[in-house]
Amino acid sequence: MVEKFSHDIAIVGAGAAGLRAAIAAATFSDKLSIGLLSKVYPMRSHTVSAEGGTAAVLKDYDSTDLHALDTIKGSDYLADQDAVELFVREAPSEVIQLEHWGCPWSREEDGKLAARAFGGMSVKRTLFAADKTGFHLLHTLLQHSLKYPGIVRYDEWFVLSLAVEDGAVRGLVALDLRTSELAFVSASAVIVATGGAGRMYQFTTNGVIKTGDGMAISYRAGVPLKDMEFIQFHPTALPGTGILITEASRGEGGYLKNKDGERFLSRYTPEKMELGPRDILSRALVQEIREGRGFEGPFGAYLLLDLRHLGEKVIDSKLPFVRELALNYAKIDPVKEPIPVRPAQHYTMGGIHTDVNGRTPLPGLYSCGEAACVTINGANRLGSNSLSECLVFGRRAGQDAASFALSRRERDHNPGGDRSVSSVQYVSLAEEKMNRLLKKEGGQERLAEMREGLQSLMETKVGIFREEKGLREALREIRELKGRLPSAKVDDRGRTFNMEMVHAFELDFMLDVAESVAYSALMRQESRGAHFRTDFPKRDDKSLEGPDKGQEVPPGTDTRELLPGVRSKVPSEDVRLGCTQLRE
């Protein structure tokens, strides 16, 4: 007997985007029943780790035009400019909304919200809650969401697949981690807010739960992924763990230095220095290391982030978490010593293709947050835009899904829509997959070995610098891993918190996402934003007219992710070449 649940809307993911969507739907109508599923308790979602802040125009000296322009430039002209305009217009009221709900934003002396400088933002427009912005945002959203009886949480439920019938989404299949029981959740609308996929890389600032599940699940349901080649590397993470040292530390005035004590960015981005876009900075760090001006450490080469001149008072009031992290995880007190840093994977610009209302091409399926690609980020996201993105597009997706689900409900006269969905069929497909793992005999290779294989090939072949040969190898190796995954050795045959099974599913999802990243990177024969091809080091604005340049499509690859690029209204200038210029 398959357990069945029914909601008007099912939301997968309870980070900033999923929670914002849930609250938006609940306030849209209290008639709606909203299922909120998350593979971890909501407050564990990786939004919790966001440190620096949330961008929105709230200051007299600022304007939404300027925010839009910064975002578009930051995106290396690949952002959808209409979407950006809408985004910058709506971000301020979202920040205020969070303020009204109790978010402890940091303040000026007069009680107004305080703003700080951030990379790529031409004025101080990043609102913050000390350096725990994501933490406070997430907890505020979760606590506020408890107010709404319409939101029914499924904490520690792992979503495996979507049910699609008659060309529309009808629900999903989820696994209760406590019992490993599968359930069918029927819903008129499903919102995928599962976050990014950083864990496919060896060095990442992402938590272990960021495995791209929602992207893979949607892709498998026939929904296109977009801009997957654009992976952001953050210039300052701790070597070894990849723990992030927020850009706010540079926003507050920190310096990046090499072995010679030189602020080397003067050779790469002399005007913006430490506040240049992340893609340029990350490449600059790698370049410095390659040219022998880094330090050697137990976890590879690194450079230094120096905060000493800010003084203890500023560090403790504006960057307390940075001090805590450096003390705990690098045994360094930033008040007294510079912090060792290196670039690490940080953000997935690409994701599930949506419009500004979060709609995907599959009726009833929505996406928002890092899992989605609207796109306001284009080839490079500006720091502090993504929390605002979660809020703005979380709300929009929640509202649109709510009105969609209501219209369905009126038509079908029961929540969750028409009952004819063959739920049993979807569940038994998932069941089969699960049993293949649980009941499997033999197997040699450990899952960890395969996961590390993926992470190291992504790091070396689909990392900050890419070229055709490596990308082709990466694709071949990813496909090989896919072939090997079913023969993995599994130890756990139990049904209670079988984390090994969860990790197997996650690796399976990550392999799909990794393939789309490597494939899209191979297809884009230019360098733009975070995507740098050593064999095509220049930006090629012809690509803005559409990415399909008639390259060979390797067999077995779905080309759905190749969506036309977005046209520029703001003419692209030659302002952002960074390392490209150096190479010439």
Q: Nearer to another protein by C-beta: 178 or 263? A: 178
Q: Nearer to ligand FAD by C-beta: 205 or 423? A: 205
Contacting ligand FAD (CB under 6 A), which of 8, 11, 52, 91? 52
Which of ligand FAD, another protein, none does 324 bind, CB closer than 5 to 8 A by kind? Answer: another protein
3-state helix, strand, coil in the chain (%, to 5): 40, 20, 40
Min dist. Cβ of residue 325 to another protein (A): 6
Strand partners, 225: 352
Which residues lie closer than 8 Å to 421 by C-beta, 6 or more apart? 163, 165, 170, 171, 184, 186
- For residues 372 and 191, give the distance between their C-alpha atoms in angstroms, rounded to a whole number: 10
The DSSP code for 563 is P
Q: Nearer to ligand FAD by C-beta: 52 or 463? A: 52
- The answer to whether 350 contacts ligand FAD (rule: CB under 6 A) is no
- The answer to whether 188 contacts ligand FAD (rule: CB under 6 A) is no
The verdict on whether 234 is a catalytic residue reads: yes
Q: Supply φ then ψ for residue 103, to 5 degrees.
A: -60, 130
Q: Of 254, 267, 326, 330, which is closest to residue 293 (Cα–Cα)?
A: 267
The DSSP code for 466 is B
Min dist. Cβ of residue 108 to ligand FAD (A): 19
Site for ligand FAD in 248-287 (CB under 6 A): none
Q: Taking CB under 6 A as the rule, which mask of x and - marks residues 355-384 in contact with ligand FAD?
A: --------------xxx-----------xx
- The answer to whether 24 contacts ligand FAD (rule: CB under 6 A) is no
Q: Is 44 helix (H, G, I), strand (E, B) or coil?
A: helix
Hey, what are 473's tokens?
């190898």
Q: Is 402 helix (H, G, I), strand (E, B) or coil?
A: helix
The verdict on whether 411 is a catalytic residue reads: no
Please provide the DSSP assignment of 332-387 as one string.
Answer: --TTTSPEEEEEEEEEE--EEE--TTSB-SSTTEEE-GGGEE-SSSTTSPPTTHHH
Min dist. Cβ of residue 490 to another protein (A): 6
| Residues in touch with another protein (CB under 8 A) | 40-41, 43-46, 48-49, 93, 96-97, 99-102, 104-113, 132, 135-136, 139, 143-144, 146-147, 153, 155, 178, 207-209, 241, 243-244, 321, 324-325, 328-329, 446-448, 489-494, 496-500
- For residues 99 and 111, give the distance between their C-alpha atoms in angstroms, rounded to a whole number: 12
Which of ligand FAD, another protein, none does 448 bind, CB closer than 5 to 8 A by kind? Answer: another protein
Out of 199, 234, 466, 503, pick the active-site residue: 234
Out of 7, 20, 250, 346, pick the active-site residue: 250
Q: Of 175, 190, 180, 213, which is closest to residue 46 (Cα–Cα)?
A: 213
- For residues 289 and 286, give the distance between their C-alpha atoms in angstroms, rounded to a whole number: 5
Q: Nearer to another protein by C-beta: 170 or 323? A: 323
The residues annotated as belonging to the active site are 234, 250
Task: State the residues that interact with ligand FAD by CB under 6 A.
Answer: 12-18, 37-40, 42, 45-47, 49-54, 133-134, 158-159, 193-195, 205-206, 209-210, 213-214, 244, 346-347, 369-371, 383-387, 390
